[in-house]
């Protein structure tokens, strides 16, 4: 009988500090107990100064920071920051990860390399992982002529919310439609991977990072399409805040895992060079950039406070069965380091309320409960179907 294996999944990861091994020290016991650890590396490892115009170099880390990524077996690279150091920076990142025994997927020197899944044997089970970006900077996408990231392109269509009326200043309805050529390519790679592995997991960089709760129609559509193809697991990121979990038929969809560590030591100085905000308080900055804005806050944590809630998603998989999902509640502290929560403490209770709220707002097919479960001695939340 095939033994189920446990995947530990996290969202965005960017480690750039003097002691990179400290970033995940607080959650290392959980990662070490899993059979396969996967995250989305949203940055560059390079000494190159070839910073892409429009980027400020905040996501380009010294190669020594690869020491902080040693907990990962696979890192996904299809996102909107992997080419912030240019093509040279991407090549450096691929080389450094490979030299340190970390598999990567979702980016490459050619279109084929960018889209090619990585297949990992875990016990008796082979898992194929694809990494695809629906959110990316123009020019980062791999094409027939250049390398880059595996990108699922789309076209936005705008329609007035009140047809036949003049309503100045009201935002239109927006419908994002996936490009047929990109979806066909993605479907072909998924179908090929299903023939080569026991199950397929897809990492998706997607969604609306300007909202703390919203699931876009585009995310739901792509998740539904992947489910129809037979994908067992879809896990998303880019929002930097948590999103709902969906369990439907034999597919688990984790729409947004937040971020587990996101260091940008140059961000505050670079921000103040672009904006004349020296000496401004958090309240003044929020008045200008919005409460959900990304700016240097007094705490040192540049994201809105709800973005401190994060998770390690534990997904137990067996061929032909719906994945079993649980969540390890995580809090990001002022040093941008991940810490575990204590069951029953105030912050634990607030976390549980938060993820349950997300499930209700998503009107999905799953609920999150605290049933006293543990993994590697760490308290976890169970994700259960509504049926």
Predicted pLDDT of residue 248:
86
Q: Read off the pLDDT of residues 180-239 as tens digits, 9 standing for 90 and up.
A: 999 999 999 999 999 999 999 999 999 999 999 899 999 999 999 999 999 999 999 999
Mean pLDDT of the chain: 94
What pLDDT band is residue 49 in, cutting at 50, 70 and 90? low
As a whole number of angstroms, the distance between CA 203 and CA 105 comes to 10
Q: Read off the pLDDT of residues 13-36 as tens digits, 9 standing for 90 and up.
A: 999 999 999 999 999 999 999 999
Q: Read off the pLDDT of residues 328-376 as tens digits, 9 standing for 90 and up.
A: 999 999 989 999 999 999 999 999 999 999 999 998 889 999 999 999 9
As a whole number of angstroms, the distance between CA 252 and CA 204 comes to 13
What pLDDT band is residue 2 in, cutting at 50, 70 and 90? confident
Q: Read off the pLDDT of residues 275-318 as tens digits, 9 standing for 90 and up.
A: 999 889 999 999 999 999 999 999 999 999 999 999 999 999 98
Q: Is residue 291 part of a domain?
A: no
Q: Is residue 295 part of a domain?
A: no
Predicted pLDDT of residue 250:
87
Q: Is residue 18 part of a domain?
A: yes
Alpha helices in the chain (DSSP H): 28-33, 86-99, 111-115, 180-196, 217-229, 267-274, 282-289, 346-362
**Cα dihedral sign, 189-175-361-347:** positive
Q: Is residue 119 part of a domain?
A: yes
Q: Is residue 160 part of a domain?
A: yes
Q: Read off the pLDDT of residues 168-183 as tens digits, 9 standing for 90 and up.
A: 999 999 999 999 999 9
- Structure-token match 């530990």, residue found: 8
Domain of residue 164 covers 5-264+302-385
Q: Is residue 274 part of a domain?
A: no
Maximum Cα–Cα distance across the chain: 66
Q: Is residue 273 part of a domain?
A: no
As a whole number of angstroms, the distance between CA 81 and CA 41 comes to 9
Predicted pLDDT of residue 386:
83
135: CB partners within 8 A, 6+ apart: 79, 80, 205, 206, 207, 209, 238
What pLDDT band is residue 136 in, cutting at 50, 70 and 90? very high
Closest CA to 255 of 191, 197, 209: 209
Strands 324-332 and 309-317: antiparallel
Predicted pLDDT of residue 1:
64
Strands 125-133 and 118-122: antiparallel
Domain count, the chain: 1
Q: Is residue 51 part of a domain?
A: yes
Give the Cα-Cα-Cα angle 169, 213, 289 (nearest 5 degrees).
Answer: 50
**Spatial contact of 91 and 102, defined as CB atoms under 8 Å apart:** no
Here the CATH number for the domain that contains residue 359 is: 3.60.21.10
């Amino acid at each position: 009988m095939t033994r189920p294996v446990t995947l530990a999944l996290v969202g965005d990861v960017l480690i750039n500090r003097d002691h990179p091994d400290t970033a995940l020290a607080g959650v290392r016991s959980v990662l070490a107990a899993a059979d396969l650890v996967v995250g989305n590396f949203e940055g560059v490892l390079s000494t190159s100064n070839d910073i892409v115009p429009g980027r400020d170099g905040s996501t380009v880390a010294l190669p020594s920071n690869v020491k902080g990524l040693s907990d990962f077996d696979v890192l996904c690279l299809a996102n909107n920051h992997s080419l912030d150091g240019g093509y040279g920076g991407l090549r450096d990142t691929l080389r450094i990860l490979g030299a340190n025994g970390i598999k990567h997927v979702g980016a490459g020197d050619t279109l084929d390399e960018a889209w090619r899944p990585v297949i990992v044997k875990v016990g008796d089970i082979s898992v194929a992982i694809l990494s695809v970006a629906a959110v990316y900077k123009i020019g980062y996408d791999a094409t027939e002529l250049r390398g880059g990231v595996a990108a699922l392109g789309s076209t936005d269509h705008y329609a007035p919310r009140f047809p036949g009326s003049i309503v100045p200043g009201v935002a239109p309805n927006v419908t994002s439609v996936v490009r047929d050529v990109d979806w066909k390519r993605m479907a072909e790679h998924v179908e090929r991977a299903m023939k080569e592995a026991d199950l397929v997991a897809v990492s998706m960089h997607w969604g609306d990072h300007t909202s703390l709760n919203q699931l876009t129609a585009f995310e739901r559509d792509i998740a539904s399409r992947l489910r129809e193809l037979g994908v067992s697991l879809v896990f998303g990121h880019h929002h930097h805040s948590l999103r709902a979990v969906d369990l439907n038929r034999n597919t688990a969809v984790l729409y947004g895992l937040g971020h587990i560590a996101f260091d940008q030591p140059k961000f505050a100085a670079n921000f103040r060079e672009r904006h004349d905000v020296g000496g401004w308080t958090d309240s003044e900055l929020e008045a200008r950039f919005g409460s959900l804005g990304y700016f240097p806050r007094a705490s040192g944590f540049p994201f809105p406070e709800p973005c401190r809630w994060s998770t390690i998603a534990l997904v137990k998989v067996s061929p032909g069965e719906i994945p079993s999902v649980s969540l390890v509640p995580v809090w990001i502290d002022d040093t941008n380091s991940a810490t575990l929560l204590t069951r029953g403490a105030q912050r634990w209770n607030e976390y549980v309320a938060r993820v349950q709220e997300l499930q209700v707002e998503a009107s999905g097919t799953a609920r999150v409960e605290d049933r006293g479960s543990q993994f590697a001695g760490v308290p976890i939340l169970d994700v259960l179907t509504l049926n």
